[in-house]
Structure 1
Amino acid sequence: MPSRAPKSSKKRGDSGKPRVGNGVRAAVKKAAAKPVVRNNDLPVVTIKVQRKPTYARAQFDRKMNALKKLSDEGKLFKQANPVARDESITKAYKARIRQKIFDKYWPHDKKLANRLSERLTDQHPDHVWELQLGGPDDVSNLKLLHGDTNEDVGRQIRQQIMKLPDGTPIRIEVVD
């Protein structure tokens, strides 16, 4: 009897999704089943994000102003890690921006279209309201941010909140 190869999760023209074992699938389901909410019985913790000279200043300020506003509104809290996220949302967001560039400038200004598309290489779709601070994994929460700035800000926040109990209220402060 011929052996049957397992059906591929790969769609025509797609790179396919990696297979996930039952243990990983169960852990993700368990994490998704219990959403963390802000626990106002816990003391508010102020975390400090250091502004560095290598950051894209205007983009960093935009992100920090948004986080400070959410902080002032009492919306920030430590989310359980690992944070559930759908990477296809950020990939599709960046692809749509690239497509909009080419739709607008190609073919009448190919040079500009290519230059703008090239600039996207250093930009990351950033969750303005950090997922690790209770933000939604949704396209409405995305803006482009310089990649190094995005990664470093996220790392600074993660290091300060990782040992806090889930649901801990968070305040943001920027230091120079």
Structure 2
Amino acid sequence: MARRPSTGTKRRGGVAKPGEGNLVSAAVKKASAPPVKRNNDLPEVTIRIERKSFHHRTDFDRKAAALKRLSDQGKLFKQANPLARDGSVTGGFKDRIIKKLYNKYVKNNTGSTEQKALDEAAFERMRQRVVSQNPDHVWELQLGGPDEVGNLKLMDARTNRDIGTQIRVQIMNLPDGTPIRIEVVD
């Protein structure tokens, strides 16, 4: 009889994940910093977000405009890190979008056979695009944004990661609550 992996391991690509991984995850959750508020007693710091050649232009422009607008409204500040996140917020985001697209273009399609084929092809193109993108917190969590579905949009994965990294590197040594102003470099 084959032996089952011990509790706390997960099979991934045929390789067992060490059981200690669960302990590390639990420690990170416990070590999460409590959320902070904007501290207007601290001096405002301007950070730059630079558009790079590999960025998806539309996604970069949308994200930069949203952050600039929040900055102009005085809503951005350095949030404590690591911040506790609810994995269910982003976890099923793409699946919910794909399900809505499926229901609209395939499941509830009452058109002709030819129209159904066109709609199924359109659905598959949209599904592939959704799969290739990441859920993005439009108002960055690290800048005080809410961890909720209403703050999510799909975004090119590489652009999303790079913008987040640009921000993180510039704010990591600032005191929690520091007001942030955004400058966009194109």
Structure 1 range deviating more: 23-32 or 165-174: 23-32
1:135 aligns with 2:145: yes
TM-score (norm 1): 0.82
Structural mapping, 1:121-132, within 5 Å: 121-132=131-142
Q: CA deviation at 1:134?
A: 0.5
Q: Distance in 2 between matches of 1:30 and 1:96?
A: 31
Structural mapping, 1:1-176, within 5 Å: 20-21=22-23, 25=26, 28-29=29-30, 31=32, 34-106=34-106, 108=116, 109-176=119-186
Q: Distance in 2 between matches of 1:103 and 1:27?
A: 38
Q: Distance in 1 between matches of 2:49 and 2:97?
A: 28
Question: Runs (4+) of structure 1 moved beyond 2 Å?
Answer: 18-21, 23-32
Q: Distance in 2 between matches of 1:145 and 1:131?
A: 16
In structure 2, do the counterparts of structure 1 residues 7 and 20 end up closer, same or farther at CA, with 3 Å as the change threshold? closer
Query: 1:14 matched to which residue of 2?
Result: none
Q: CA deviation at 1:52?
A: 1.2
Q: Distance in 2 between matches of 1:111 and 1:7?
A: 43
Q: CA deviation at 1:28?
A: 2.8
Q: What 5-or-longer segments of structure 1 have no aligned partner?
A: 1-5, 9-17
Q: What 5-or-longer segments of structure 2 have no aligned partner?
A: 1-5, 9-18, 108-115
Q: Distance in 2 between matches of 1:31 and 1:162?
A: 15
Q: Distance in 1 between matches of 2:88 and 2:58?
A: 27
- Tell me, what secondary structure is at the counterpart of 1:106? helix
Q: Distance in 2 between matches of 1:84 and 1:100?
A: 29
- Tell me, what secondary structure is at the counterpart of 2:163? helix
In structure 1, give the amino acid aligned to 2:39. Answer: N
In structure 1, give the amino acid aligned to 2:132. Answer: D
Q: CA deviation at 1:87?
A: 2.1
Q: CA deviation at 1:83?
A: 2.0
Larger-gyration structure (1/2): 2
